[in-house]
Chains A and B, each alone.
Chain A
Amino acid sequence: MSALEIATRVRSGERSAVSVAEETLTAIAARNADLNVFVHVEREQVLERAAAVDAEVAAGRDPGILAGVPVGLKDNLCQTGVPTTCGSRILAGWRPPYTATAVERLLAAGAVPVGKTNMDEFAMGSSTETSAYGPTRNPLDPTRVPGGSSGGSAAAVAAGMVPVSLGSDTGGSIRQPAALCGLVGIKPTYGLVSRYGLVAFASSLDQIGPLAHTVADAAATLEAIAGHDPRDSTSLPGPAPALVAHLDEGVAGRRIGIVRELVDGADPEVLAAVEAAAEVLAAAGATLSEVSIPELRLGLSAYYLIAPAEASSNLARYDGVRFGLRVAGSDVTEMYVATRTAGFGPEVKRRIMLGTYALSAGYYDAYYGQALKVRTVMIEAFARAYANADLLLGATAPTEAFALGAKVSDPMSMYLSDVFTIPTNLSGHAAISVPFGSGASGLPLGVQLLGPARSEERLVAAAAVVEAGRGVPGA
């Protein structure tokens, strides 16, 4: 059942939120040991919260558009008192004393957060294999990865444990796992969703967004969590866009550019899926054209300087002084070194070193400074493309879900999984991945629709057209 169907029934009193929560807890209990999706579930708290939603309904009040909807939270989103580890040993046992704005807004919309989902350590990875708490398996084929870094959030929805979950997307971490698990995933415009309470990986790129079976569920969830937040200085002004109201708007008259650089190098099945999706959009009245934005090829290199640079600073605070893991040392420097050596996994260490190097005196101009220039060049290139197009179309990931362990020892091939998603993070724009077609092994693929800043209304309308064109949602 979709999130909106659950909410409709809970709001009308047809179903109790407690029964929905119990179903969710049962589904988690049945498959979590095999799939390693949730790293933490607060059973009692979930049932209490669901009972509170039912009490609202019984009292004649409307708990909100997500009434009684169970939601999985990526383990980098803070909720008061609930363990938050970011898939890292260094935060083992840490319970934040405050709640992220996005989670507060879910609660205000009547949702029932059920627990924390597994993720690549500090969101650094594309397969959920760098988690200190073991890899998550793809529910559609447990020998394969669910993608990452929001792999747990994707798998939770794909396994039918929850209808919707929240992830975070720094270079594709919502869209790529959505594609690999056959889900809809949205990377909102930078600043549309408050980052307050999202544990930072790369602050200028991070954005929270939903993963769901349907465009409508993803749109409703994003609408619930979006809108200005004074606690995040980079939060955009104004209220959340009315996404659900625009779902049926269609694409008649829209100009959509198929971007060569966002399909080049992808598997043939991925290319075929993008072409077929383009036909669906054209049949619905959009004008399709092929465009080339060569600057997008620079995205990956720029990203792997900017994101690690910011991460090297954001992750400095995990030093054993105030919270999380502390490994004793004979003096404070040794304590720092021992704590960080034991607490961080190899991928996180690799990126901290990369980022520290890129920011160092004597190297800043050649690396970080140059990457910032590339970022500006890409933003300008996108602006030129959007002068002639309302939306852009491409692939989300170059392949279907790959086997566990296939890329974990080869960072470069792993980094290439995000080559089509990274440009949108660098530009700060919005993008959505919609399931469409299938790969050589029969696993789902995703196509990606991209739009300029604050184009979410247009994006969900176009995504709904693509979704309708592939048959029954969730099939």
Chain B
Amino acid sequence: MVVGLEVHTELLTASKMFCGCANAFGAEPNTQVCPVCLGLPGSLPVLNARAVELAVAIGMALHCRVGPSTFHRKNYFYPDMPKDFQISQYDRPINEGGYLELSDGSRVGIVRAHLEEDTGKSTHLGGTGRMHDAERSLVDYNRAGVPLVEIVSEPDISSPEQARLYAAELRAVLVATGASDGRMEEGSMRVDANVSVRLPGAPLGTRCEIKNLNSLRSLQRAVAYEADRQVELILAGGRVRQETRHWDEASGETSTMRIKEEAEDYRYFREPDLTELVPDPAMIARIRDGLGPMPAERRAALAGLARGAAVPGDVLDAVVGAGLDGFVEAAVARDVDAAVALSRAANELAGLDGPGQVRPDAFAEVLAREAAGTLSATQAKAVLAELVRDGGDVAQIVERRGFAPMSADDLSASVSRALAEHPAEWARYRAGEDRLAQFFVGVVMKATRGRANGQQVLAELELRR
């Protein structure tokens, strides 16, 4: 199986690639448009300097050569392309020849990572939802002209799992550079897979391009399905046809979208409205200096904090992917066990919405209290959930929720009451029936509505036995 991935990522710029319109997801249709991104007659593109900086950052993170580049027009008619051509890079992309190291230690080559503009978004009403049989088609041009970087891998990927690891790692890198939010579900990172199969050592087979891969899981499943389909086709005496195929998540199958009988002729030529892009060496140096450690390095650093204790790879991925390194470091600085800190960060903070309102020092405080035994695991998680949602001061939350530890006297009094209420069980415990300790812990917990510390109750029981 030979797989190469083409990943498009929207860049986190304030404005679009060639005009001043806002680059933001989710606005009312056709409210973030102007003469330039609508391609009105007479309008001209002006390159967004921030988009160039982010493209350079991506190139450096992927170990590419960053150099002078040019823009071309890719000509084809489609209603969501305002000018009926897309401004892209062709024979001289801004970034060429790099690689990405995956979390399994393998390395995938990067052919290029070039700048281009996004198209608008079409919605087809009636029929099958495709343009050709729609009753009406609507176009939202808010996305038209949003800056993209297209990252093209070498066909170095040889399994569905590796394809997923590549996309996951690339996403983490894009997030780490600040170039992208990496949200596949919102379409800000889009993956197309080129899949072919061959016998070992044989020349490359005919490839199919798979589109509509909206999650890492879809990618892995689609690549596996497509490779199997091609193998079965060949074993049955058939031939793979070069085409674009659509992944259907529900049926778990790919199906023909477009047959590439003759390669589409995009009539590429130099975009005469833009000059050669020569990145300023000072800008490149500034970006290089500002680029923090990449995910692979950060995973290694976090694993190092655990001092040899095994930490699951997906926990490290989750923490690095959500940018929570600082949270874990803050907790470890307070002598919290690194494995616990990583696990809490991965499970309690790295959800869909990220760490929300919680700050690293607050996270460390909660875990330190848990480690000291003044908060139970359940309480710690509850406090973290509130911090993520609303932020705030740990001590105040603990106080308000009644999680503040009981004084020794109060605890002692609670235990005394429990023994008085259950004299028969107390007698059996004293006679050596150890398992009744848990019974008394439960009684005290219930009476104190969880404020008592279980360990301290046990210690008290032992003292009085």
Q: Which residues of A contact B (CB under 8 A)?
A: 76-78, 84, 86, 91, 94, 96-98, 100, 195-200, 202-204, 230-234, 309-310, 312-313, 316-317, 319, 321-323, 331-333, 336, 356, 359-361, 364, 368
The answer, yes or no, to whether B83 is at the interface (CB within 8 Å) is: yes
The answer, yes or no, to whether B132 is at the interface (CB within 8 Å) is: yes
Cβ-defined contact, B274 with A359, below 8 A? no
Q: Which of B107-115, B241-249, B262-270 contacts A (4 or more CB under 8 A)?
A: B262-270
Cβ-defined contact, B46 with A233, below 8 A? yes
Cβ-defined contact, B41 with A84, below 8 A? yes
**How far is it, in angstroms, between the C-alpha of A333 and the C-alpha of B35 when the chains are bound?**
24
> Knowing A233-B274, A313-B267, A361-B265 touch, does A96 contact B84 (C-beta < 8 A)?
no
The answer, yes or no, to whether B82 is at the interface (CB within 8 Å) is: yes
Cβ-defined contact, B83 with A316, below 8 A? yes
Per CB-CB distance, the 6 closest pairs between chain A and chain B, nearest first, are: A316-B84, A204-B272, A359-B267, A203-B272, A199-B41, A197-B42
- Mask: chain B, 37-63; 1 = CB below 8 Å from A; 0 = not: 011111111110000000000000000
Contacts of A94 in B (CB 8 A): 41
Chain B contributes a number of interface residues (CB within 8 A of A) equal to 32
Contacts of A310 in B (CB 8 A): 269, 272
> Knowing A203-B273, A313-B75 touch, does A319 contact B267 (C-beta < 8 A)?
no
Contacts of A91 in B (CB 8 A): 41
Contacts of A364 in B (CB 8 A): 267, 269
> Knowing A96-B35, A356-B267, A368-B269 touch, does A316 contact B77 (C-beta < 8 A)?
yes
Q: Whole-angstrom distance from the CB of A279 to the nearest CB of chain B?
A: 40
Contacts of A322 in B (CB 8 A): 38-39, 82
> Which one, B41, B82, B132, B267, contacts A200 given CB within 8 A?
B41
**How far is it, in angstroms, between the C-alpha of A336 and the C-alpha of B275 when the chains are bound?**
31
Contacts of B46 in A (CB 8 A): 230-233
Cβ-defined contact, A232 with B42, below 8 A? no
Other A-B pairs beyond A195-B44, A322-B38, 7, CB < 8 Å: A230-B46, A233-B45, A233-B275, A313-B267, A336-B77, A359-B267, A361-B263
Q: Whole-angstrom distance from the CB of B191 to the nearest CB of chain A?
A: 27
Cβ-defined contact, A332 with B79, below 8 A? yes
Q: A100 — nearest CB in chain B belongs to which residue?
A: B42
> Which one, A319, A356, A360, contacts B84 given CB within 8 A?
A319
Cβ-defined contact, B139 with A96, below 8 A? no
**How far is it, in angstroms, between the C-alpha of A86 and the C-alpha of B273 when the chains are bound?**
20
> Which one, B39, B42, B79, contacts A96 given CB within 8 A?
B42
> Knowing A313-B269, A316-B84 touch, does A86 contact B77 (C-beta < 8 A)?
no
The answer, yes or no, to whether B212 is at the interface (CB within 8 Å) is: no
> Knowing A309-B269, A316-B85, A359-B267 touch, does A97 contact B75 (C-beta < 8 A)?
no
**How far is it, in angstroms, between the C-alpha of A52 and the C-alpha of B141 when the chains are bound?**
38
Q: Which residues of B contact A (CB under 8 A)?
A: 35, 38-47, 73, 75, 77, 79, 82-85, 131-132, 137, 139, 263, 265, 267-269, 272-275
**How far is it, in angstroms, between the C-alpha of A417 and the C-alpha of B263 when the chains are bound?**
40
> Which one, B42, B132, B137, B272, contacts A199 given CB within 8 A?
B42
Q: Whole-angstrom distance from the CB of A116 to the nearest CB of chain B?
A: 13
* 16 residue pairs from A and B, CB less than 8 Å apart: A76-B42, A98-B42, A198-B42, A200-B42, A231-B46, A232-B44, A233-B274, A233-B275, A234-B274, A312-B75, A313-B85, A316-B83, A317-B39, A321-B79, A360-B265, A361-B265
Q: Whole-angstrom distance from the CB of B175 to the nearest CB of chain A?
A: 31
Cβ-defined contact, A233 with B79, below 8 A? no
**How far is it, in angstroms, between the C-alpha of A76 and the C-alpha of B40 when the chains are bound?**
12
> Knowing A233-B47, A233-B274 touch, does A78 contact B41 (C-beta < 8 A)?
yes
> Which one, A98, A203, A312, A336, contacts B35 given CB within 8 A?
A98
Contacts of B131 in A (CB 8 A): 331-332
> Knowing A313-B75, A316-B77 touch, does A359 contact B42 (C-beta < 8 A)?
no
Q: Whole-angstrom distance from the CB of B109 to the nearest CB of chain A?
A: 27
Contacts of A309 in B (CB 8 A): 269
> Which one, A196, A198, A331, contacts B132 given CB within 8 A?
A331
**How far is it, in angstroms, between the C-alpha of A193 and the C-alpha of B38 when the chains are bound?**
23
**How far is it, in angstroms, between the C-alpha of A200 and the C-alpha of B271 when the chains are bound?**
13
Cβ-defined contact, A317 with B73, below 8 A? no
Contacts of B132 in A (CB 8 A): 331
With most chain B CB atoms within 10 A of its CB, the pick from A100, A310, A321 is: A321
Q: Whole-angstrom distance from the CB of B55 to the nearest CB of chain A?
A: 17
**How far is it, in angstroms, between the C-alpha of A321 and the C-alpha of B82 when the chains are bound?**
9
Cβ-defined contact, B41 with A196, below 8 A? no
Contacts of B275 in A (CB 8 A): 233-234
**How far is it, in angstroms, between the C-alpha of A392 and the C-alpha of B41 when the chains are bound?**
35
Q: B84 — nearest CB in chain A belongs to which residue?
A: A316
Q: Whole-angstrom distance from the CB of A2 to the nearest CB of chain B?
A: 30
Contacts of A317 in B (CB 8 A): 39, 41, 82-84
Q: Whole-angstrom distance from the CB of B318 to the nearest CB of chain A?
A: 43
Contacts of A203 in B (CB 8 A): 272-273
Q: Whole-angstrom distance from the CB of B276 to the nearest CB of chain A?
A: 11
Q: Whole-angstrom distance from the CB of B251 to the nearest CB of chain A?
A: 27
Q: B141 — nearest CB in chain A belongs to which residue?
A: A322
Contacts of A313 in B (CB 8 A): 73, 75, 85, 267, 269
Contacts of A230 in B (CB 8 A): 46
**How far is it, in angstroms, between the C-alpha of A356 and the C-alpha of B41 when the chains are bound?**
20
Q: Whole-angstrom distance from the CB of B198 to the nearest CB of chain A?
A: 27
> Knowing A97-B35, A321-B79 touch, does A332 contact B40 (C-beta < 8 A)?
no
Contacts of B82 in A (CB 8 A): 317, 322
Q: Whole-angstrom distance from the CB of B270 to the nearest CB of chain A?
A: 8
Cβ-defined contact, B79 with A360, below 8 A? no
Q: Whole-angstrom distance from the CB of B143 to the nearest CB of chain A?
A: 15
Q: Whole-angstrom distance from the CB of A79 to the nearest CB of chain B?
A: 10
**How far is it, in angstroms, between the C-alpha of A202 and the C-alpha of B42 when the chains are bound?**
12
**How far is it, in angstroms, between the C-alpha of A312 and the C-alpha of B75 when the chains are bound?**
9
Q: Whole-angstrom distance from the CB of B299 to the nearest CB of chain A?
A: 42
**How far is it, in angstroms, between the C-alpha of A98 and the C-alpha of B42 when the chains are bound?**
9
Contacts of A96 in B (CB 8 A): 35, 40-42
Q: Whole-angstrom distance from the CB of B258 to the nearest CB of chain A?
A: 15
Q: Whole-angstrom distance from the CB of B90 to the nearest CB of chain A?
A: 12
With most chain A CB atoms within 10 A of its CB, the pick from B45, B79, B269 is: B269
Contacts of A76 in B (CB 8 A): 42
**How far is it, in angstroms, between the C-alpha of A364 and the C-alpha of B73 when the chains are bound?**
14
Cβ-defined contact, A233 with B41, below 8 A? no
Q: Whole-angstrom distance from the CB of A374 to the nearest CB of chain B?
A: 15
Q: B273 — nearest CB in chain A belongs to which residue?
A: A203
Contacts of A356 in B (CB 8 A): 267
**How far is it, in angstroms, between the C-alpha of A149 and the C-alpha of B44 when the chains are bound?**
22
Q: A203 — nearest CB in chain B belongs to which residue?
A: B272
Q: Whole-angstrom distance from the CB of A448 to the nearest CB of chain B?
A: 25
**How far is it, in angstroms, between the C-alpha of A321 and the C-alpha of B265 when the chains are bound?**
22
Cβ-defined contact, A319 with B77, below 8 A? yes
Cβ-defined contact, B42 with A78, below 8 A? yes
Q: A91 — nearest CB in chain B belongs to which residue?
A: B41
With most chain A CB atoms within 10 A of its CB, the pick from B38, B39, B40, B263 is: B40
**How far is it, in angstroms, between the C-alpha of A204 and the C-alpha of B73 when the chains are bound?**
13
**How far is it, in angstroms, between the C-alpha of A84 and the C-alpha of B40 when the chains are bound?**
12
Q: A368 — nearest CB in chain B belongs to which residue?
A: B269
Cβ-defined contact, A360 with B272, below 8 A? no
Contacts of A233 in B (CB 8 A): 44-47, 273-275
Q: B275 — nearest CB in chain A belongs to which residue?
A: A233
Cβ-defined contact, B42 with A196, below 8 A? yes
Contacts of B75 in A (CB 8 A): 312-313, 316, 359
**How far is it, in angstroms, between the C-alpha of A322 and the C-alpha of B41 when the chains are bound?**
11
**How far is it, in angstroms, between the C-alpha of A364 and the C-alpha of B77 when the chains are bound?**
20
**How far is it, in angstroms, between the C-alpha of A56 and the C-alpha of B273 when the chains are bound?**
37
Q: Whole-angstrom distance from the CB of A413 to the nearest CB of chain B?
A: 28
Cβ-defined contact, A196 with B269, below 8 A? no
Q: B264 — nearest CB in chain A belongs to which residue?
A: A361
**How far is it, in angstroms, between the C-alpha of A84 and the C-alpha of B43 when the chains are bound?**
13
Q: Whole-angstrom distance from the CB of A227 to the nearest CB of chain B?
A: 16
Contacts of B73 in A (CB 8 A): 313
**How far is it, in angstroms, between the C-alpha of A183 and the C-alpha of B207 when the chains are bound?**
63
**How far is it, in angstroms, between the C-alpha of A321 and the C-alpha of B41 when the chains are bound?**
13
Q: B79 — nearest CB in chain A belongs to which residue?
A: A321
